[in-house]
C-alpha cells in the first residue's frame, strides 16, 4: 500500500518546520557567542588602555628622575672641573674657567632637556596606544550591542514559512480532486 502523498507532504512540512526551528536555535546561540566574544574583547581592549596609561605615567616619571639625576651629575662634574682647575693653578673665577664651567652647564642642561623630551615622546606613544585601545573597546561594545539573534532568526523563520507554504500549495494543487 505505501505512504500516501498527503502523509509525505505532512512529513516534508514537519521536517521543514523542525529544520527551521533548529536553524533558528543555532543562530540564537551563534549571536550569543558573538556578543560574549565582543564583550570579552572590549574588556581586553579596556585593560590594554589602562596598561598604556600606566606605561605613560611610568615613562614620564622615569624621564623626570633621569633628568634630575643627569643634572646632579652635571653639578658634580662642574665641581670636579673647578677642583681640577684650582689644582692646576688656574684662577677658578677667571673668564676662561668660568667659560668652561658655563659650557659644561649649558651642555648638561641640553642633555637634561633631551632626556625629558625623549621621555615625553615615549609617553606620547603610550598615549596613542591607549586611545587606540579605547577606540577598539568602543567598536567591540558596538559589535556586542548589535548582536541580535532575532534579526537572523526572522530571515530563517520567513524562509521556513515560505518553504512550508510552497509544500502545502504543491500538495493542494497535486491532490486528487484538489482536496485532501
**DSSP type of residue 90:** -
- Dihedral (C-alpha) 55, 59, 60, 61: value to the nearest 10 degrees? 100
Distance CA(56)–CA(125), nearest Å, equals 8
Q: Report the pLDDT value the prediction gives residue 133, as an integer from 0 to 100.
A: 96
Segment 94-105 shows an average pLDDT of 94
Among 101-110, 117-126, 156-165, name the one with the lowest average pLDDT: 156-165
Q: Where are the domains of the chain?
A: 5-175
Least confident of 6-15, 88-97, 113-122: 6-15
Return the pLDDT at 30. 87
C-alpha to C-alpha distances, 134 to 128, 138, 141, 146, nearest whole angstrom: 10, 6, 10, 19
Specify the higher pLDDT residue, 43 or 167. Answer: 43
Q: What is the mean pLDDT of residues 25-52?
A: 93
Q: How confident is the model at residue 177 (pLDDT cuts 50, 70, 90)?
A: low
Inter-residue contact 66 to 115 (CB < 8 Å): yes
pTM: 0.70
Average pLDDT, the chain: 89
Pairwise CA distance, residues 23 & 28, whole Å: 9
Residue-wise pLDDT for 131-151, tens only, equals 999 999 999 999 998 888 777
Percent of the chain with pLDDT strictly greater than 90: 61
Amino acid at each position: 500500500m505505501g505512504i500516501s502523498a498527503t502523509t509525505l507532504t505532512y512529513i516534508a512540512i514537519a521536517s521543514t518546520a523542525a529544520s527551521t526551528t533548529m536553524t533558528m536555535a543555532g543562530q540564537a546561540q551563534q549571536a550569543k557567542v558573538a556578543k560574549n566574544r565582543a564583550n570579552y574583547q572590549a574588556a581586553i581592549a579596556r585593560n590594554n588602555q589602562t596598561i598604556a596609561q600606566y606605561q605613560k605615567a611610568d615613562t614620564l616619571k622615569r624621564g623626570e628622575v633621569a633628568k634630575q639625576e643627569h643634572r646632579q651629575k652635571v653639578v658634580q662634574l662642574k665641581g670636579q672641573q673647578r677642583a681640577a682647575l684650582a689644582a692646576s693653578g688656574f684662577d677658578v673665577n677667571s673668564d676662561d674657567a668660568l667659560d668652561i664651567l658655563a659650557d659644561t652647564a649649558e651642555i648638561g642642561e641640553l642633555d637634561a632637556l633631551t632626556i625629558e623630551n625623549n621621555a615625553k615622546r615615549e609617553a606620547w606613544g603610550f598615549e596613542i596606544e591607549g586611545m587606540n585601545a579605547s577606540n577598539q573597546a568602543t567598536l567591540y561594545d558596538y559589535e556586542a550591542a548589535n548582536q541580535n539573534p532575532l534579526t537572523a532568526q526572522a530571515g530563517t523563520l520567513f524562509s521556513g514559512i515560505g518553504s512550508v507554504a510552497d509544500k502545502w500549495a504543491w500538495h493542494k494543487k497535486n491532490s486528487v480532486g484538489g482536496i485532501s
